[in-house]
Chain A
């Protein structure tokens, strides 16, 4: 057992080192002369940012990490004091509040101002307004916006790809060259993309492991840690490939030993329910939220949220041979850019392939991208698969919108409902 813990720690140590390294680099960006690019996770062009030797900052990651460190309430209050309405996305208010309070990032280190604001995913309208706000705060930053067509027709057409590549040639690349002072080097990008592809292969394998019983991992609550490196700028690095390879091996060892997922209170003993969850988690009470699930023996075998930075389940990968085209496809292929039937198909596939007993939606007050269509999706999945569905409401980073007792009450009822269902099914089979 001791060996496993050491192995388990290695992937965690790797991740910690990577993140610490990034924040250290950001803190020293001014001294080292590195240019800083603020961008968002969905449809992020991390490879391109890396190609121009820039350092990425992801405002929504800072917001969620601030929330996990119980700092978001004060930041949101600060933003509201500056006339941001109660209804504004709480990621935005947390970020704006953090900026107003000195831009000290979640690690306690000061974040550098952006040299460039790169908006590469327009499916979330709030992102645009968010950067408009940041533009006012950082008048010297260059703004680059690339329009990402929504997959309204349920597919990415060559026209859509060409449209995006054209924007990259005409808008994104010239401005990034201008800000970084570095010429666009396609060969360099191809090398980076090769690493991206490898990391994507590994993470796909990792998120397939919950098909085992018991599931060796929780694909939502632990999953959000696993997607960290690939979503925050390390996709396209050998470090990320190493991290995912290591993680995969650790999980394989858990499977070999028949172990269930690791929770903050140790290993989950009995897997009673296997769930698919749609929607982001709540970050302010992340541990309490997770605990409600593992206390009931519920493991999340698949989640839509872990696909927010890229959907790899259906075989799509970055392709070094088609660098800009594949970047375009990547932007259009993030989860919230899929149309509602595509999302239903993807979730249906997960429910079936991962043998889920139930489907739970965590509806987020702040998030239009996720919330739109959630109820319709739930109804259709319920009708199609005759699977028990549950619906809870919370928020991303505003602690005022996480009602522990309400959520616990709903989930308790839901789990009792699942138990009943299982009991009935068992009786029918006998």
Chain B
């Protein structure tokens, strides 16, 4: 039986899981938002990693028969997106029930009307979600259930009578937490088949679809290829589904890491420091790495590693989390932007406004003042991004500086403006060094954890915790 190793990185903002095989190759990765119930967050991340592993296995097998067919790639991308929709749809059903229940049980004098408004909102956002997942690839945008649903919900509440704003928001706040902290079990095969049915409808419908000027020509070319070839893919896929769904992904060992690691239901020797895991993961992907900068949700780590990927020294922010992912989240809220829009917006800047405040809360006041004084949004954002990178650089200096090669990891490494300033400042202070940034930078801690699991953790799997009763096999 093939053995797999799981690493779970329970961060302050997101929980990540990575599964590696015996050759340290990543076979699956999963991510979700961290929530009050850490175990649920860890379980969901692990489930996502296992689904991802199954999809990867499917793709690998089908690649043999479907090599060089671009429509296959598009179909699989769509399938993953719709697969996620199928999961979210179930959660949406539970949320809808909970919203109605919460509103019905409230003491608000107009609760009947509120329930009606809720039904209207739910009636709008459900098909919206479906449409975006099926036709606009929402599944590939790395957004979590909470983010998607709250964005749509807020938009609809904004259209309602102002007097219902408070009770509607209250109903959402009260309902989302229990729903999010509930572990929902899915059957992979059932969900994939369901997703394929939905895709069947989509591609059938493509025949009658009117051309839309807003879409580029390549979109229709690709769609036409899928439209003509999807039955073939569908057929081949069905022949593999049964096999893959039944394939045991046996997690032989696992390691938990991250800010919430102590709360993971793992035995003590299955828990590793995130500093060691991030360094190990980064070093595995870029073996010449000597300095790692990791900016996560709540902390920034500057880590020096040796040729084996072992940590020789590290420094972390101690008194303040300004400059970490959460700070960027706060800034995004202040500007009414999504986190993904921050970097591109900052990169439109013509100059960098000087930001004095190193405190997250004060920065909010400073932004308002600067906007009032006529400073441009992109310039302010550029200044903010620069200031957080300056903080990270000071931490790097304290940890011993940048040594060649330099690897930047963590969720914040996805922000292109941060990236720009990191590159600029590293070159300014330390000269030309090789700088590594990976699209999977957010998974480095979990990857390091999985690799440690494969290496030196000899403990047996904990009973009745993350791994199901099927003796290590999952789904």
A416 adjacent to B315 (CB under 8 Å) = no
- Partner-binding segment picked from A13-21, A86-94, A105-113, A386-394: A386-394
From B310, B313, B319, give the contact of A389 (CB < 8 A).
Answer: B313
Please tell me if A2 contacts chain B, counting CB pairs below 8 Å: no
**Of A379, A389, A417, most B-chain CB atoms within 10 Å:** A417
Within 8 A of B (CB), among A405-430: 406, 409-410, 412-413, 416-417, 420-421, 423-424
CB of A382 within 8 Å of the partner chain: yes
Given A389-B313, A391-B315, A403-B318, A417 contacting B398 (CB threshold 8 A): no
> Contacts of B312 on A, CB cut-off 8 Å?
382, 388, 417
Given contacts A375-B398, A412-B273, contact A417 B318 (CB under 8 A): no
Give complex CA distance A388, B310 in Å.
11
Set of chain A residues within 8 Å of B318, measured between Cβ atoms? 392-393, 403, 406
Do B310 and A424 touch across chains, with their CB atoms under 8 A apart? yes
Given contacts A413-B276, A424-B308, A379 and B319 within 8 Å (CB-CB): no
Return the chain B residue nearest A418 by Cβ: B311
Q: Flag if A382 contacts B400 (CB, 8 Å).
A: yes
| Chain A residues, CB < 8 A from B400 | 379, 382
Count of B residues near A, CB < 8 Å? Answer: 19
A403 and B272 CA atoms in complex are apart in Å by 20
The residue on A at minimum CB distance from B312 is: A388
Q: Residues 379-410 of chain B: 1 if any A CB is under 8 Å from the residue's CB, otherwise 0?
A: 00000000000000000001010000000000
Judge whether B456 is part of the interface by a CB distance below 8 angstroms: yes
User: Which residues of B lie under 8 Å from residue A421 when comparing CB positions?
Assistant: 310
Assess the A413–B275 pair: CB atoms within 8 A. Answer: yes
Taking a contact as CB atoms under 8 Å apart, the answer to whether A393 and B319 are in contact is yes
With a CB–CB cut-off of 8 A, which chain B residues contact A420? 276, 310-311
A375 nearest in chain B by CB position: B398
* Chain B residues, CB < 8 A from A409: 259, 273, 316
| A392: nearest chain-B partner, CB-CB | B318
B314 touches A413 (CB 8 A): yes
Chain B, residue nearest A403 (CB): B318
Contact of B313 among A388, A392, A406, A423 (CB under 8 A): A388
B275 close to A423 (CB less than 8 A): no
Check A416–B273 contact: CB distance below 8 A. Answer: yes
Establish whether residues B456 and A417, one from each chain, have CB atoms under 8 Å apart when the complex forms.
no
A404 to B272, CA, bound (A): 18
Given A375-B398, A382-B400, A423-B456, check contact A417 B319 (CB 8 Å): no
Given contacts A393-B319, A410-B316, A423-B456, contact A416 B276 (CB under 8 A): yes
Q: Mark B297-318, 1 if CB is under 8 A from A, else 0.
A: 0000000000010111111101
Question: From A383, which residue of chain B is reached at the shortest CB distance?
Answer: B400
Q: Which residues of A contact B315 (CB under 8 A)?
A: 391
Q: How far is the CB of A298 from chain B (nearest CB, A)?
A: 15
Tell whether A382 pairs with B313 under 8 Å between CB atoms, given A393-B318, A393-B319, A406-B318: yes
A417 touches B276 (CB 8 A): yes
Contacts of A403 in B (CB 8 A): 318-319
- Alpha-carbon gap, A389 to B276, bound state (A): 14
- Contact assessment for A413 and B273 in the assembled complex, using a CB-CB cutoff below 8 Å: yes
Query: Which residues from chain A contact B313 at a C-beta distance below 8 Å?
Result: 382, 388-391
Write out the residue numbers on chain B whose beta carbons fall within 8 Å of the beta carbon of A417. Answer: 273, 275-276, 310-312, 314
Q: CB distance A416 to B272 under 8 Å?
A: yes
Cα-based distance from A421 to B311 in the complex (angstroms): 9
- A424 CA / B313 CA spacing, docked (Å): 16
CA of A41 to CA of B273 in the docked complex: distance in angstroms?
Answer: 39
Residues of B within 8 A of A416 (CB): 272-273, 276
- A114, chain B: closest CB distance, angstroms: 36
Please name the residue on chain A nearest to B314 by beta carbon. Answer: A413
**How far, in whole Å, are A392 and B259 apart by their CA atoms in the complex?**
17
Q: How far is the CA of A424 from the CA of B310 in the complex (A)?
A: 9
Which of chain B's residues have a CB closer than 8 A to the CB of A388?
A: 311-313
Most chain A CB within 10 A, of B272, B276, B313, B400, is at B313
Chain A's nearest CB lies how many Å from the CB of B76? Answer: 39
Cα(A417)–Cα(B272), bound, Å:
10
State in angstroms the CA–CA spacing of A103 and B272 once bound together. 48
Among residues of B, the one whose C-beta sits closest to the C-beta of A406 is: B318
Complex Cα–Cα for A389 and B312 (A): 7
Alpha-carbon distance A259/B379, docked complex (angstroms):
64
Q: How far is it, in angstroms, between the C-alpha of A412 and the C-alpha of B274 when the chains are bound?
A: 10
Q: Which of A379, A388, A403, A412 has the most CB of B within 10 A?
A: A412
Q: Which residue of A lies closest to B311 (CB)?
A: A417
Give CA–CA (A400, B456) in the complex, Å: 38
Q: A424 — which chain B residues lie within 8 A by C-beta?
A: 308, 310
**A403 to chain B: closest CB distance in Å?**
7
For A423, the chain B residues whose CB sits under 8 A away are 456
Residues of B contacting A406 in the complex (Cβ-Cβ under 8 angstroms): 316, 318
Nearest-Cβ distance from residue A278 to partner chain B, whole angstroms = 14
Closest chain B CB from A179 CB (angstroms): 44
**Which B-chain residue is minimally distant from A410 (CB atoms)?**
B316
User: Once the chains are docked, how many angstroms separate the CA of A407 from the CA of B265?
Assistant: 22
> 1/0 contact trace for B453-466 toward A, CB 8 Å?
00010000000000
| A392 CA to B316 CA, complexed, in Å | 9
Q: What CA separation (Å) do A388 and B306 show in the bound complex?
A: 11
CB A421 to nearest CB in B, in angstroms, measures: 7
Task: List chain A residues, Cβ under 8 A from B274.
Answer: 413
- Given the complex, which residues of A lie within 8 Å of B319, measured CB to CB? 393, 403
Q: Which residue of chain B has the shortest Cβ distance to A407 in the bound complex? A: B318
As a 0/1 sequence over residues 272 to 303 of chain B, the CB contacts with chain A under 8 angstroms (1 = contact) are 11111000000000000000000000000000
CB neighbours (8 Å) of B273 from chain A are 409, 412-413, 416-417
0 or 1 for each of A359-386: is its CB under 8 Å from B? (1 = yes):
0000000000000000100010010000
Chain B residues within an 8 Å CB radius of A375: 398
A367 to chain B, nearest CB (A): 16
- Identify 19 residue pairs between A and B in the complex whose beta-carbon atoms are under 8 Å apart, listed by A's number: A379-B400, A382-B312, A382-B400, A388-B311, A389-B313, A391-B313, A392-B318, A403-B318, A403-B319, A409-B273, A409-B316, A410-B316, A413-B275, A413-B311, A417-B310, A417-B311, A420-B276, A423-B456, A424-B310
Identify 8 new A-B residue pairs, CB closer than 8 A, beyond the known A409-B316, A413-B275, A420-B276. A382-B312, A382-B313, A388-B313, A406-B316, A413-B311, A413-B314, A417-B310, A417-B314
Binding site for B on A (CB under 8 A): 375, 379, 382, 388-393, 403, 406, 409-410, 412-413, 416-417, 420-421, 423-424
Please name the 9 residue pairs, one residue from A and one from B, whose CB atoms are nearest each other, closest first: A413-B273, A413-B275, A417-B311, A393-B318, A416-B273, A420-B310, A389-B313, A416-B276, A412-B273
* B binding-site residues for A, Cβ under 8 Å: 259, 272-276, 308, 310-316, 318-319, 398, 400, 456
